[in-house]
Structure 1
Amino acid sequence: MRVLSSVILLLCAVFSQNTFAQQQYTEATCLLLQQQIDRFAAQPESRHYRQALRDFNQHCQNPIAAPAKPLVLSNVPTKTIASSTVASSATEPVVLTATPENTAAVPFKLDMGAMMFSLFQPHIPYIVIFLVALILFRLVFWLLFANQAQFLGAMAEWQLHRVLLQRLPEGYQHYRNLVLQTAQGDLTEIDHLVLSRFGIFVVEVKNYRGWIFGSEQQDYWTVQHFRRKHRFQNPLRQNYKHTEAVKFALGLTSQDCRQVHSVVAFSERAKLKTPLPAHVCYIRRVADYIQQFSQPCFNDEQLRQFAAKLNVTASAKSAMRKAHKQQVTGPHR
């Protein structure tokens, strides 16, 4: 029986410790929580009712009683105490113990730290998951893209890729990020190339944000976003190098070179503010511009030869892009 009693006492101690592990509020605080529960009892789905009920169940199982402080009343008349063993009488102030009848309202202090923790405690796992996901996203972003401009450029190229796949009919062959060798021996990367019997279209994609000012003859164009201005190379001249590389890689004749068309595509983030030729347009308009060319200029045999050469280049794209990057950045020392 003593062993059984000891086990029962031990279990009671454990359960009582777990029950009152939460920090307990004072009786006054618990009374306020009970009043709030009664107030919103008719709305059991409301946030106020559920919060008050949760706080009451967690922190009011063993509320802290208000301390009973002795009250010394200085204005109470002194009382003479007579005793047979005392020769003289003495007076002393009457000390009264505070009781529920004569106790004034005792101010109580809320533990705001505990209450705030109880509010956020159910959401802590979600906050941790969100922070971890944000860190992983930033890490992947840093690994894939060296800077923001590269990331925005890749997003615009992917947008054009979807437009061409969805809006160009069969018979149009599409290549992305081709690295070709120029007649001068260096390398250049082409964002998009469309091969068809109606011509070859070399597309340069830009994802600038703001107003775009420029003309065909200017060396540099300007992008303005609020008060910030930035100059960039004329994309028409930049794409001229790409079209020349395509002509060289495919071995086109002087007659066929006329069928290679340069296209510059801007994302919707940009607003073209100066008159520009038709082959400078928005990404959503590229497919429409290409389909304006309806006169066949290449036969099936030429298309097979062109496609074979481009496929060989595309198969070595990884090695060519690595060589192009080394050419741009220079050899590592």
Structure 2
Amino acid sequence: MRFTLPLLLFISPLAFGQKQYTEGACLLLQHQMAQFAHQPNSHNYQSAKREFDNHCQNPIPAPVKDLVLTNIPAKPITVGGVKNTVTIKPVNNTAAAKAATPPPVKPAPAAAPKPADVLTALFAPVLVFFGSILALLLMLAMVIVLLAFVAARYGARIKGALAERQLHRILLRELPTSYQHYRNLVIPTAKGDLTEVDHLVVSAYGIFVIEVKNYRGWIFGGEKQPQWTVQRFRSKNQFMNPLRQNYKHTEAVKHLLGLNGKDTEAVHSVVAFSQRAEFKSQIPKNVMYIDLVGDYLQQFYLPCFGDEQIRQFSARLNMALSSRKVLTKMHLAQVKAEVKG
């Protein structure tokens, strides 16, 4: 046994260059270990155990070969008193396995599509198209509702801002560079509260306080009437006489610039309406359309203020302009308090 095992390992095709022995070699190693188990310190036991631990953790299975029986002798069989010889032919396992394998099953023909499935396949693109159109319409409706909400809540403010911007572009384009122009200026009044001036133009020929209105429809009003009327179709609404409204602004400008006496006569009130309005009554000469403001301001050509006075005016207005954020916040709080009161 001690010579058979090394010889078997030597002739094994996996003995060299392989990390694992075959199943047969591993069985022999186990047998040797069991034979010398009573002598665990012997060389035979230690060698067999070492080889088994190193090379039999994942033994290589023996190759499968067809069983061919060629050494079985003929067996005589007696039939009706006559002895016959029956020869057992070799059995080819591969052929037997092929014979035992069932023939391939022919796949059943595909079932004919149902009419409902055909209709679904035909109309699926149409349904997807109409679904996309419906989703688009829903989104459009949501946008329209949102715009209507914004227009209802902030429409007047937005329209007023658009008219003020239009006047700003006209003044920049038509007035000389020596004219100083201020927009949305929040300044204190003599009473201590705040007021907002839409446009203020300072020049040597006068100071012009401009109130902008963006009403749409027919305008009815006079210089001394406390309320004016705007009519669009059958809808009529009244609003404060813009000349009276702008009077507060002109007085605040006089207070801020420290004007008194004859200098106060050089402060002019101007009211500018957009082209959306149509005057239906006799209006004062200082009420006009936005695109006529530049021409109106340049009708004043007699000097009223010197260069030093203009520099002082600019310094005070620039100081108010630098504090516009704080003053605007205070003015909004004041307006909210007046509305609640």
Shorter-chain TM-score bucket reads: 0.5 to 0.7
Distance 2:138 2:234 in 1: 39
Aligned partner of 1:294 in structure 2 is 301
Aligned partner of 2:119 in structure 1 is 25
Give the match's secondary structure for 2:333: helix
Q: Which one has a bigger Cα radius of gyration?
A: 2
Distance 1:217 1:129 in 2: 51
Of residues 331, 335, 340 in structure 2, which corresponds to 1:328? 335
The number of residue pairs the alignment matches comes to 229
Deviation per residue, 1:185-212 (Å, 9 max, x gap)? 1111111101111111000011111100
Structure 1 pair 286/115, CA: closer, same or farther in 2 (3 Å)?
same
Give the match's secondary structure for 2:256: helix
Distance 2:211 2:271 in 1: 5
User: TM-score normalised to the size of structure 2?
Assistant: 0.59
User: TM-score normalised to the size of structure 1?
Assistant: 0.61
Aligned partner of 1:264 in structure 2 is 271
The alpha carbon displacement at 1:276 in A equals 1.1
Give the match's secondary structure for 1:288: helix
The yes-or-no answer on 1:158 pairing with 2:128 is no
The alpha carbon displacement at 1:136 in A equals 7.6
Distance 1:146 1:318 in 2: 23
- Give 1:279's aligned amino acid: N
Give the match's secondary structure for 2:225: coil
The alpha carbon displacement at 1:118 in A equals 4.3
Distance 2:156 2:239 in 1: 13
- Give 2:296's aligned amino acid: Y
Deviation per residue, 1:284-324 (Å, 9 max, x gap)? 11111111111221111111110110010011111111111
Aligned partner of 2:127 in structure 1 is 117
Structure 1 pair 228/292, CA: closer, same or farther in 2 (3 Å)?
same
Distance 1:138 1:224 in 2: 22
Structure 1 pair 307/149, CA: closer, same or farther in 2 (3 Å)?
same
The alpha carbon displacement at 1:127 in A equals 5.9
Give the match's secondary structure for 2:119: coil
Of residues 247, 262, 267 in structure 2, which corresponds to 1:240? 247
The yes-or-no answer on 1:176 pairing with 2:183 is yes
Deviation per residue, 1:237-281 (Å, 9 max, x gap)? 110110000000000131111110000011111101111122100
Structure 1 pair 227/137, CA: closer, same or farther in 2 (3 Å)?
closer
Give the match's secondary structure for 2:300: coil
- Give 2:221's aligned amino acid: G
Moved over 4 A (4+): 121-139
- Give 1:324's aligned amino acid: H
The yes-or-no answer on 1:315 pairing with 2:322 is yes
Long gaps (5+) in structure 2: 1-106, 108-116
- Give 1:240's aligned amino acid: Y
The alignment yields a C-alpha RMSD, in angstroms, of 3.2
Distance 1:168 1:136 in 2: 40
- Give 1:154's aligned amino acid: A
